[in-house]
Amino acid sequence: MNASSLLPLRTVVLAAAAHPDDIEFMMAGTLLLLKQAGAEIHMWNLANGSCGTATQSREEIVRIRRTEAENSARLAGASYHPPLFDDLHIFFDAPSLEQVAAIIRTIRPTLILTHSPQDYMEDHQNTCRLIVTAAFARGMINFPTRPPHPPYDAPVALYHALPHGLCDPFGKPVRPDLFLNIESVLPLKRAMLACHKSQKEWLDVSQGMDAYLAEMERMSASLGHHSGRFSYAEGWRFHNPLGFCSQTYQPLQHLLQEFCYAPTVE
């Protein structure tokens, strides 16, 4: 049996991140390559961007950031899913998990791209925990979701993006298991991130991130350099497949083989 025969007939990809623009910074290149490979793609930010401003009201910035996220998804050819929480209100608790699991069961992904378990802020880490646990509970008939949705029993592979800044909370570099060559889709990735124009001033003020589009390209170039093969790359770590899929079910490598490089572990 060849590797491609292990894939479902229909590949459904969910990119799930905390805030509007998180997908575009660290995941969008891979998502675009999967779209080109024939996958159905979905974009979901769990938080609404309510704190991403130094000047606007909550209602105004939430409206602006939703429009920006919808525009980015439209550029990618992705289905957009609305947020559930305010910024800094993403918690790993039972009510939140029930809501997140309902969305997972609605989309029924076979491949999930999400945050690193180690990241510089709690919203990212809690999003990762919620997504992983909701995917684990996808087929559990006695796990309640809010609103109720029937379980589904299908393999799902989870991949963790590199943390923003490419370091863990202690500033130590995080190295990927897999590099994806995103040079061919970098212009569209940049255009998607440029949809989030409300964030230029906020990122300058809050994080000293002058020219956020250039910052994204710098991180992509840094990962490309670390790969030793590509000019621009995104990095991924494959989640332990127990409870999710078989060890041989690795759809990123199977669907995007020509774009992948997995360094040999010595």
Q: Give the pLDDT of residue 10.
A: 85
* Mean pLDDT over each residue of the chain, to the nearest integer: 93
66-104 pLDDT tens trace: 999 999 999 999 999 999 999 999 999 999 999 999 999
Q: Using a CB cutoff of 8 Å and minimum separation of 24, what contacts does 185-190 make?
A: 185/28, 185/29, 185/32, 185/33, 185/36, 186/29, 186/217, 186/220, 186/232, 188/28, 188/32, 188/75, 188/76, 189/24, 189/28, 189/29, 189/32, 189/216, 189/220, 190/216, 190/217
To the nearest whole percent, how much of the chain has pLDDT over 70? 92
pLDDT at residue 142 tops 50: yes
- Worst-scoring range by mean pLDDT, 119-123, 206-210, 213-217? 206-210
Q: Please give the angle made by the CA atoms of 91, 16 and 158, to the nearest 5 degrees.
A: 100
pLDDT band at 9 (very low <50, low <70, confident <90, very high): low
pLDDT at residue 253 tops 50: yes
Q: Give the pLDDT of residue 128.
A: 98
Q: Give the pLDDT of residue 53.
A: 87
**The two three-digit tokens of residue 24, written as one number:** 């575009």
Task: For residues 259 and 248, give the distance between their C-alpha atoms in angstroms, rounded to a whole number.
Answer: 19
**Greater pLDDT, 215 or 17:** 17
**The two three-digit tokens of residue 127, written as one number:** 């999003």
Q: Are 21 and 193 in contact (CB under 8 A)?
A: yes
Q: Give the pLDDT of residue 196.
A: 94
pLDDT at residue 1 tops 60: no
pLDDT band at 8 (very low <50, low <70, confident <90, very high): low
Task: For residues 129 and 133, give the distance between their C-alpha atoms in angstroms, rounded to a whole number.
Answer: 6
Domains of the chain with bracketed CATH: 10-257 (3.40.50.10320)
Q: Give the pLDDT of residue 200.
A: 73
